[in-house]
Structure 1
Amino acid sequence: MFYFLSKVLFYVLMPLSLTIFVLVWAIFTKNPQRKKQLLISTLVMIFVFGNDFIVNEGFMLWETPATSPETIVEPYDVGIILTGGMISNKEGTPQQIFVDKTADRFIQPLRLYKQGKIKKILITGGNTDLTIIRTDFSDENLKTAQLLEELGVKKSDLILETKARNTRENASFTAEILRKKPELGNKYLLFTSAFHMRRSLGCFEKAGLTVTPFSTAFKSKARVFTFSSLIVPSEGAYYEGYHLIHEILGYCVYRVLGYC
């Protein structure tokens, strides 16, 4: 039930959905004072949710900072990649692989593997979509492994965990695999999107696994003080702002439930 509700709320809690809800309420309410308040609230929401500068500042505050590869002196035994948005949900042949917006989650560990800074790569995550909403054609875990192998990672250095549907399960199932294979070592580097790293670290800590964060796929950018970024609402900011709000709420829910 938790998994189902979390995926449904993914669509319900979008800033655009909330803005439309408040606007529709303002249109249909009979109370003049409430109508005025709701219309003002709608304008405020459009400015805040659609403001590139505000959303970017939010990501800068929330994201876990980047790690420089030069700081990694001793190699890590296993690099753990959390799936989610690395491979496009586009139907194709078994040999077709289309990368998506968080491909940096596997690009960074690939670079470190090539530099000898991680010995093996574990990819964790199964099908995370609800078929009643959409069908998943991505096979993200398997195709990421296929792509890494084609790019030079030895098949014997790839470990797949294909059951996890959320961050909590990523941590618990990964911990289970690594405890059963002590020969893999005990020094782990965790790769996920920078804005998702807080929740991920908490989940792995709860699972009893000590990992070092290596943030990827940053959404924050360098500050830009232009009229368009400071004043003009942007649909892109609405889209990115949703991910920020969703992640913060997700982190809070996980904390309340004791998952992280």
Structure 2
Amino acid sequence: MFFIFSKILFLFLMPLSLIFCCFAYGLWTKNARHKARSLKSGIFLILLFSNGSLVNEALLAWEIPPVAPHEITGTFEFGVILGGGLIQNKTADADQIFASETSDRFIQPLRLYKQGKIRKLLISGGSVSINGYSTDVSDESRKVAQLLIELGVRKEDIVLELHSRNTRENALNSQKILKTYQNSGKILLFTSAFHMRRAVGCFQKAGIEVQPFSTDFRSEIRNFNPGTLLIPHEKSLFLSYFLIRELIGYTVYKIIGYI
């Protein structure tokens, strides 16, 4: 039920929905004052959500900051990779793998594995995309495992968790697997930077202490040049969508006690 509620809530609070409602009301109402305010509000929201500098500042505030590999001390028994959107949703042959823009979530743990800082990789989920809307028919977790093996990870060092459909299930199902190992030890968690707060909260709620290693950053270096501060950008509107969706998801998880 919460899943449906969160999607309905997001549908009404996404940037384009808010902008559309303002303009729709402005065109519909007969009240001249309300019409003017509504149309001005629509224009303000367009400028707000498409402002590169402001959106980037919001992302910088929300995303968990990056960690350099040399800052990782000791050896982690497991690196947990959260799936969902790692592989493009394409019908492909067994030897075809199409990585998506979020593939950084398995590239970074691969680097640390190669450096001897992670012993095993647990790939969790991937039955639905990170957006939560569509089934990933490319069998994502197995595809990622196949790619990691080809890139040098030993098959016995990869553990698959294939049933999770959301972040809470990632945590609960990973916890069941990890407790079967006598010494699961220190856990390094990999997911997109904008999603890391919710992921860490879910894993801690499930009784798993993790150290976050953010990947797939949407924020950029702080920049207040005229091009990003004064000129609207479609990309910023798209990033606003991502951020608002995650804020709503985090809030819903918090309310129902998942984090």
> For this structure pair, what is the TM-score category when the shorter chain's length is used for normalisation?
over 0.9
Closer/same/farther in 2, CA of residues 6 and 40 from structure 1, 3 Å limit: same
Q: Which amino acid aligns with 1:102?
A: T
1:155-188 deviation per Cα after TM superposition (whole angstroms, max 9, x unaligned): 11000111111111111110111112224x2210
1:226 Cα deviation from its structure 2 partner? 2.6
CA contact (8 A) 2:78 2:122 kept: yes
- Which residue matches 2:105? 105
The aligned counterpart of 2:162 is 162
Greater Cα shift, 30-39 or 113-122: 30-39
CA 1:104–1:11 in structure 2 vs 1: closer, same or farther (change >3 Å)?
farther
Amino acid of the structure 1 residue aligned with 2:82: L
Return the offset for 1:110: 0.1
Structure 2 partner of 1:41: 41
User: With structure 2 as the length reference, what TM-score do the two structures score?
Assistant: 0.93
Q: Which moved more, 1:136-145 or 1:64-73?
A: 136-145
Q: In the alignment, which residue of structure 1 is the partner of 2:207?
A: 208
In the TM superposition, residue 12 of structure 1 has moved relative to its aligned partner by: 4.8
Q: Residues 148, 161 of structure 1: CA spacing in aligned structure 2 closer, same or farther, 3 A cutoff?
A: same
Aligned to 2:70: 70
Q: Percent identity?
A: 50
- CA drift of 1:209 comes to 0.5
The one-letter code matched in structure 2 to 1:123 is I
Q: TM-score, normalised by structure 1?
A: 0.93
CA distance in 2, matches of 1:195, 1:72: 21
Unaligned runs of 5+ residues in structure 1 are none
RMSD: 1.8
Distance 2:126 2:106 in 1: 16
Aligned to 1:251: 250
Report the CA distance between 1:100 and its aligned residue. Answer: 0.8
Q: In the alignment, which residue of structure 2 is the partner of 1:31?
A: 31
**Deviations, residues 7-57 of structure 1 (Å, cap 9, x unaligned):** 555555421222112211211122211111111110110011011111100
Q: Which runs of 5+ in 2 are unaligned?
A: none
Question: Structure 1 pair 12/140, CA: closer, same or farther in 2 (3 Å)?
Answer: farther
> 1:40-189 counterparts in 2 under 5 A?
40-128=40-128, 134=134, 136-183=136-183, 185-189=184-188
Shifted more, 224-233 versus 112-121: the winner is 224-233
Q: CA, structure 1 residues 36+259, in 2 after alignment: closer, same or farther (shift >3 Å)?
A: same
Aligned positions, number: 257
- How far apart, CA to CA, are the structure 2 residues paired with 1:89 and 1:98? 8
Deviations along 1:130-150, whole A, 9 cap, x unmatched? Answer: xxx655333221111111111
